């Protein structure tokens, strides 16, 4: 297994110490800050092995090795922060389809019904070929959003 050595610059060490002193950051960020200060090769060593650090911080030694690797490959800022969650889905109803849905809600319900239900609206949107398929819950969320 490859051993990654972490050597913090003076500015990085001050930044991490500032994070810990403030204590206003996310718990995982503070844990990473403590780990990086503990595994720093350029300062005086308090701990000899990753196992000692892991025992002290109540985490696994594998967590420390992953933190080392992340620090070397991506840098300090990326290593202590979370990855942003990529929002990959686009809304099924937007723009023109949403306008059609609202107009449909304001129109008279089909014969034999006293009002529009979510299921009726979903079926009508598919019949009118505005969308290929849609669930009643999506219709409900869209209507709730537009109010």
pLDDT tens digit sequence for 77-123: 888 888 877 777 788 888 898 999 999 999 999 899 999 999 999 99
Indicate whether 37 pLDDT > 60: yes
pLDDT at 146: 63
Indicate whether 20 pLDDT > 60: yes
pLDDT at 126: 93
pLDDT at 18: 92
Looking at the chain, the whole-number percentage of residues with pLDDT higher than 90 is 24
Q: Which residue has the higher pLDDT, 2 or 80?
A: 80
Indicate whether 3 pLDDT > 80: no
Indicate whether 2 pLDDT > 70: no
Section 34-43 average pLDDT? 84
70 Cβ neighbours under 8 A, 6+ residues apart = 78, 79
Prediction pTM value: 0.57
Exposure letters 48-73 (e unless 16+ CB within 10 A, then b): eebeebbeeeebeeebbbebbebbee
């Amino acid at each position: 297994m490859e051993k990654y050595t972490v050597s913090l610059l003076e500015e990085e060490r001050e930044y991490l110490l500032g994070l810990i002193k403030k204590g206003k950051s996310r718990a995982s960020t503070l844990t990473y800050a403590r780990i990086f200060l503990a595994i720093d090769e350029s300062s005086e060593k308090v701990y000899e092995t990753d196992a000692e650090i892991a025992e002290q911080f109540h985490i696994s030694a594998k967590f420390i090795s992953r933190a080392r690797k992340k620090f070397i490959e991506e840098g300090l800022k990326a290593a202590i922060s979370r990855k942003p969650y990529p929002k990959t889905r686009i809304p099924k109803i937007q723009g023109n389809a949403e306008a059609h849905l609202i107009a449909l809600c304001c129109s008279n319900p089909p014969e034999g019904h006293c009002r529009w239900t979510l299921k009726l609206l979903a079926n009508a949107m598919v019949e009118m070929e505005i969308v290929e398929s849609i669930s009643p819950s999506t219709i409900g969320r869209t209507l709730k959003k537009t109010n």
